[in-house]
Amino acid sequence: MRFILEDTINGILMGSIYGLAAMGLTVIFGVLKVINFAHGSLLMVGMYVAYWAVILTGLHPYLSLVIVVPVMFLFGYFLQDIIIKPIFKAEKDVREPITVIIVTTGVWYILDNLSLLVFGPQYRNIQDNPLRGKMLEVGGMLLSVPKLWGFFAALLTAGAIYWFFQMTRTGRAIRATSLDREAASLQGINQYKMYNLAVGIGTAVAGIAGVSLVPFYNIFPSVGVLFDIKCFIIVVLGGLGSMGGALLGGMIIGVIEHVGAQFMAATWTEAIVYGIFLVFLFLKPSGLFGVKYEW
Amino acid sequence: MGRNTIRIVPPVLAGVIVLALPLAVRNPTYLHILVLLYLYAYLTTSWNLVGGFAGVLPLGHAAFVGIGAYTSTVLSLQYGISPWIGMIIGGILATIAGVIIGLPTFKMRGAYFALATIAFAEGLRVVVENIDNLGPFRLNGPRGLQIPPLKTGLLNFMFATKEPYYYIILFMLAGVLLLTYVISRSKLGHYLVAGGEEPEAAMALGVNVARAKLTAMAISSFLTAFAGTFWAQFTLYIHPKSVMSLDISFEIAFIALIGGRGSIAGPVLGALLLRPVSDFSRIYFGDKLPGLHLIIFGVVLILVMLYQPRGLQEPLTRAYRSITKKFLGHAEAA
Amino acid sequence: MRGKNIWWKAYVCVLAFAFVCSMAFLTDRPALAQPKEVKVGNILPLSGPSASVGQQNRQAQDMAIEEINAAGGIKSLGGAKITLIYADSESKPDKGVAEAERLINTEKVHVLTGCWNSAVTYPTTAVSERYGIPFIVPVSVADKITEQGFKTVFRIAAKDGWWVRDQFAFISDLQKEFNKKLSTLAFVYENGDWGKGMASGWKTLAEKGGYKVVMDEPYPSTQTDMSPLVQKIKRANPDVLLLVSNAADAILITNTMADYKVKPKAIIGSGGGHADPSFLTAAGKNAKYLFDIVEWETDVNKPGAKEINAKFKSKYGYNLAGESVDAYVAMYVMADTLERAKSLDPKAILDALAKTKLTKGPAMIVGYDAIEFDATGQNKYAALVMVQINDIGKGMERISVWPKGARRAGYKPVFPIP
């Protein structure tokens, strides 16, 4: 069945982009230990930023990263600093502030509807970008070129983030803060600054994901909603805080969607994804690569 | 004026106003809005049993609403069974579902629990959207089920005007508030609160926290399903996106959170504040500035969580108490 | 201590505000008693996934009413002007129902129109039936809307049973004209009320016509990636692909099919998303040779059609489409009805609506020759036209090809897809 190979490869490609989208979330979720329901909206913002960057400057979509990444980083940094930090301060003793979940949902509603008001409901896409519609033919199989680009972007980003967290001082400081807030601050680490950085990085990664989607995807205000739940599923599947896990989790979802769709209607693959998610939650909540936290 | 009189007067006054309201409010649209307000107050109060007292964040209660709505509708459309009976059966089914969901998920940490409930609710919705028939039962997938306006009457749970619906939901709301009060004073209530705040300490004292949480979940899902039946009989049309969507689960949870979960008045207060905002901004701004009410919602959410994370009921009850104290002060001096 | 004081004062104010809002309910404001003004309530998806078509409907209606009012309003009512009041359904049935209640009871509208999404129109018509208010449905096609036995519902568009019938008639005519046999069909449709309704019609007609159905697949309209679906189509290798899509998925599917080089002998859309102007802009060359069935096309051979379309285009930037034309026409049907009713009494309006026999005026830019309602409230002459998207030198456009009588002069449809 040559088809299964083709579907699996395409699933891996698309899945790596899902993984890229989820990577930002796993950074935020892993460090701050809170559900960030606004992540889909951050992705949406990243896509619009990429869209406008390309339209206004005529840059190659991936070159627009130069604009998108810093903009998104700052956006995330200040989002955390201005809106979420006060709650952390107020709930210092609570291990996982639930109110942050609510605040991020507020952010989600605001971002999505603000962009509806400002940009309008119409679906946009970048018609003449150099990547649109290009296919690579390999042994009778057709592979989508923009998705290939996304695949490599995902791998590179995963590697870069991993290196950052393992090798750099700041990265290790962030990890320390995520493991134990008090101990880290005893070491002189400003925990709030670490959180700001983490959210900034997570948002910047969402921006990268946005850039990889923009060459072949539709951009509209509620596009983030579709990705929101998917990203959470991937994060749980892959394991909190693990870049490789996010990538792998994304690929698994991608393969299920692509291969599964050949055997049943796409509407059922959605249900299967939820089912697998629940199985993981019950049996192995730490995911494939996550560190086991004590419950 | 004795103390007890002062204590009783406001609630009694409120009760009288609420009972007499339909006599003054004749416009069916406004009655409709009020009915929905009470319905959400009912939903959030039922949710509160798990989300407030047990200290977890369930974000999938729309699943129970859907189970209730579909059960009573399918039974009444296909087999002619009265929706009241269908309501009870729906409640039982929801309870089973709730316990099945609760068993594995209560062991999880807050965020994971929330995600699991979302996954269950969404998974159920996707399944219902995809199947036209579940065995002998006709669910009609995404096209939904329409309830034809049959003969009206209490037995059919079908009325031509809004007033009967108003009183039914009011009665349900009063019932669930009373139940919450009773539970809060009971052993179950205390176990829940202890289990929510300091599970290890509670267990050390011999409290079966897991069983308490499951009991709360069972009661909560049972009651929530009733709301589903009510909704079906009130709007006469159900389909997965309208009774089982994530939006509903979120709205329920957030109303409770803003009002103040874990308290009795909190959810009602939250509904009182947020439902008019949602309805009004849709009515006044719906065509010029679409989505504005959701922005307002989001802003309110953030502000409340930033400044009053325990919910608005806290400062409001304090204000209420200080006002009544002033009166008492006068009364006793006089 | 001082800080806290301010906060509880603020909350008291907020609660008082909410209370006042609720108390506003108590004052049952009677609708401003302005004699001789016709109020029409319009429920449309102005936000949410169908927002862009909702807006187009609205624009078409606005334009029609502007013209009617400028021409003197409803003369039999003393020159009464028509006022359109819009309400957002958000594509949600319960919101549509709530808005219908509000429009009838608070705004005291005389006529209702709406709601574009069949799923919203279906329960909303039950509301108007209960109150006896006339409800004109310009666009929603679900058969059951006029099959509820209601006396207040009147629909302009053809019902989806007819769409399906015409699509299959086209398929058989295509085979006759080009002397080529088509035997395998694939059904791909959005997983909602509309898609499923069309698909069940297709299944029945496919059986009758002796076709082999190689694929019958609903898909979630909001799906993020269409490539698995398109791969499946490619491997099923159908002669004819029948599609029911909203705008975004239509665009995505068309572009993805071009990417994966999927070429059935013919692709037939069902209006809706395929007829949306944004589809042509976004799909561009990839939409070449696609057939689509609609109520109306810009090149219809009817007097006034080109002018009215040009006016709409200059106002709003894009062409009229079948659905916006239905909305435009619905306004003229209503105006004609009011003229004959000579009163704003619901029964008089209903009576006049039922007797409608419109054959002249701006409403007749439709592809058929008369508007008349049968006993169920369905416009009996509503007819459809099949177009092919092609570039014959002036850029990508939609060209009427079927029925033969409606075909644009000098154009021969391209079949099979080269």
Domain ranges of chain C: 33-158+302-365, 161-294+384-406
- Opening angle at CA A63, ends A60 and A65, nearest 5: 130
Across residues B216-239, what is the average pLDDT?
91
Sort out which chain A residues have CB atoms less than 8 A from C255's CB and list them.
Answer: 133, 216
Per-residue confidence band for C22, with pLDDT thresholds at 50, 70 and 90: low
Query: What is the C-alpha to C-alpha distance for residues A214 and A220, in angstroms, rounded to an integer?
Result: 11
Q: Which fold has domain C161-294+384-406?
A: Rossmann fold (3.40.50)
Residue numbers of the domain that contains A193: 2-224
Give the mean pLDDT of C375-387. Answer: 89
Residue A277 lies in a domain: no
Considering only CA atoms, give the Rg of chain A. 19
Return the number of CB contacts < 8 Å for B and C: 116
Task: Give the architecture (CATH level 2) of B3-333.
Answer: Orthogonal Bundle (1.10)
Distance from CA of B56 to the nearest CA of A (A): 9
Q: Do A113 and B294 touch (CB under 8 A)?
A: yes
Q: What is the mean pLDDT of chain C?
A: 85
Residues on B contacting A at a C-beta cutoff of 8 Å = 57, 104-105, 107-112, 114-116, 118-120, 122-123, 126-127, 129-130, 250, 254, 257, 289-292, 294-295, 297-302, 305-306, 309
User: Does the beta-carbon distance from C88 to B286 stay under 8 Å?
Assistant: yes
Q: Average per-residue pLDDT in chain B?
A: 82
- pLDDT of C322 > 80? The answer is yes
pLDDT value of residue C32: 45
Does position C17 have pLDDT exceeding 60, yes or no?
Answer: no
Residue B176 has pLDDT above 50, yes or no: yes
pLDDT score of C370: 87
The pLDDT tens digits of the residues spanning A232-261 come to: 889 888 887 788 888 999 999 999 988 888
| Distance of residue B295 Cα from the nearest chain A Cα, in angstroms | 5
User: Is the predicted pLDDT of residue B222 greater than 90, yes or no?
Assistant: yes
How far apart are the C-alpha atoms of A20 and A25, rounded to whole Å? 9
Interchain proximity B315–C105, CB inside 8 Å:
no
User: Contact C52/A7, CB-based, under 8 Å?
Assistant: no
Query: Which chain B residues are within 8 Å of C130, Cβ to Cβ?
Result: 149, 160
Assess whether pLDDT exceeds 60 at residue C35. Answer: no
C282:A123 CB<8 A: yes
Q: Do B290 and C192 touch (CB under 8 A)?
A: no
Please state whether the peptide bond connecting residue C403 to the residue before it is cis, i.e. omega within 30 degrees of 0: yes
Question: Is residue C155 scored above 90 in pLDDT?
Answer: yes
Q: Give me the pLDDT at residue C137, please.
A: 94
The answer to whether residue C2 scores a pLDDT higher than 60 is no
Say yes or no to pLDDT of B142 above 90: no
Say which of B129, B290, B292 has its CB closest to residue A267: B129
Q: What is the pLDDT of residue C239?
A: 93
Query: Considering only CB atoms, which chain B residues are within 8 Å of A232?
Result: 115, 118
The model's pLDDT over C95-116, given as tens digits with 9 standing for 90+, comes to: 888 889 889 988 899 999 989 9
Is B287 within 8 Å of chain C by CB?
yes
Higher-scoring residue by pLDDT: B311, A196 = A196
Give the pLDDT score at A22. Answer: 92
Is A262 in Cβ contact with C232 (below 8 Å)?
yes
Query: What is the pLDDT, as a whole number, of residue B26?
Result: 76
Does residue A31 register a pLDDT over 90? no
Q: Spell out the SS3 assignment of chain B.
A: CCHHHHHHHHHHHHHHHHHHHHHHCCCHHHHHHHHHHHHHHHHHHHHHHHHHHCCCCCCCCHHHHHHHHHHHHHHHHHHCCCHHHHHHHHHHHHHHHHHHHHHHHCCCCHHHHHHHHHHHHHHHHHHHHHCCEECCEECCHHHCEECCCCCCECCCCECCCCHHHHHHHHHHHHHHHHHHHHHHHCHHHHHHHHHHHCHHHHHHCCCCHHHHHHHHHHHHHHHHHHHHHHHHHHHCEECHHHHCCHHHHHHHHHHHHHHCCCCCHHHHHHHHHHHHHHHHHHHHHCCCCCCHHHHHHHHHHHHHHHHCCCCCHHHHHHHHHHHHHHHHHHHHHC
pLDDT at C242 over 90: yes
Q: What is the pLDDT of residue B287?
A: 60
Q: Which of A275-284, B121-130, C338-347 has the lowest mean pLDDT?
A: A275-284
CB pair distance less than 8 Å for C88 and B287:
yes
Q: Of C224, C225, C230, C286, which to mutate for an interface test with A (greatest number of A Cβ within 10 Å)?
A: C225
Fold for C33-158+302-365, please state it.
Rossmann fold (3.40.50)
- From A135's Cα to the closest Cα of chain B, the distance in A is 33
Q: Tell me, what's the pLDDT at B219? A: 94
Residues of chain C with C-beta less than 8 angstroms from the C-beta of B25: 25-26, 28
Set of chain A residues whose Cβ sits within 8 Å of the Cβ of B109 = 96, 293, 295
Do the chains contact at B57 and A98, CB–CB below 8 Å?
A: yes
Smallest Cβ–Cβ distance between B287 and the set C8, C87, C94 belongs to C87
Closest chain A residue to B309, measured at CA: A99
- Tens of pLDDT, residue by residue over C125-137, are 988 888 899 999 9
Report, as an integer, the average pLDDT of A14-38: 86
Domain count, chain A: 1
Lowest mean pLDDT among A183-192, B62-71, B236-245, C40-49: A183-192
Q: Is the link from the previous residue into C115 a cis peptide, with omega within 30 of 0? A: yes
pLDDT at A44 over 70: yes
For the question of an ipTM over 0.90, the answer is no
* pLDDT above 70 as % of chain B: 91
Which residue from B121, B157, B158 is spatially nearest to B243, judged by alpha carbons?
B121
Q: Across the interface, do B287 and C22 touch by the CB < 8 Å criterion? A: no
Question: Of B29, B160, B277, which has the smallest distance from its Cβ to C101's Cβ?
Answer: B29
B330 vs B122, which has greater pLDDT? B122
Q: Using a CB-CB distance cutoff of 8 angstroms, which residues of chain B are in contact with residue C25?
A: 25, 27, 30, 33-34
Q: How far is C378 from chain B (nearest CA, A)?
A: 21
A180 in reach of chain B (CB within 8 A): no
The answer to whether the Cβ–Cβ distance between A117 and B110 falls below 8 Å is no
More confident residue, A31 or C163: C163
Q: How far is B315 from chain C (nearest CA, A)?
A: 5
Q: Which of residues 225-264 of B touch C (CB under 8 A)?
A: 235-237, 239, 241-242
pLDDT > 70? residue C4: no
Kindly report the nearest CA distance between residue B101 and chain A, in angstroms.
10
Q: Is residue A268 part of a domain?
A: no
Query: Looking at residue C28, what is its pLDDT?
Result: 44
pLDDT in tens, A63-115: 888 888 999 999 999 888 888 887 777 665 554 567 777 788 888 888 988 88
When pLDDT is cut at 50, 70 and 90, the band that residue C265 belongs to is very high
Residues of A in contact with C259 (CB under 8 A): 133, 135, 142, 144
CA-based R_g, chain C, Å: 23
pTM strictly above 0.90: no
Q: Tens digit of pLDDT for each residue in B74-84?
A: 998 888 888 89
Q: In this predicted model, what pLDDT tens digit does every residue of C162-207 receive, in sequence order?
A: 999 999 999 999 999 999 899 999 999 998 778 888 998 999 999 9
The predicted model gives C27-56 an average pLDDT of 73
CB contact under 8 A, B108 and A267: no
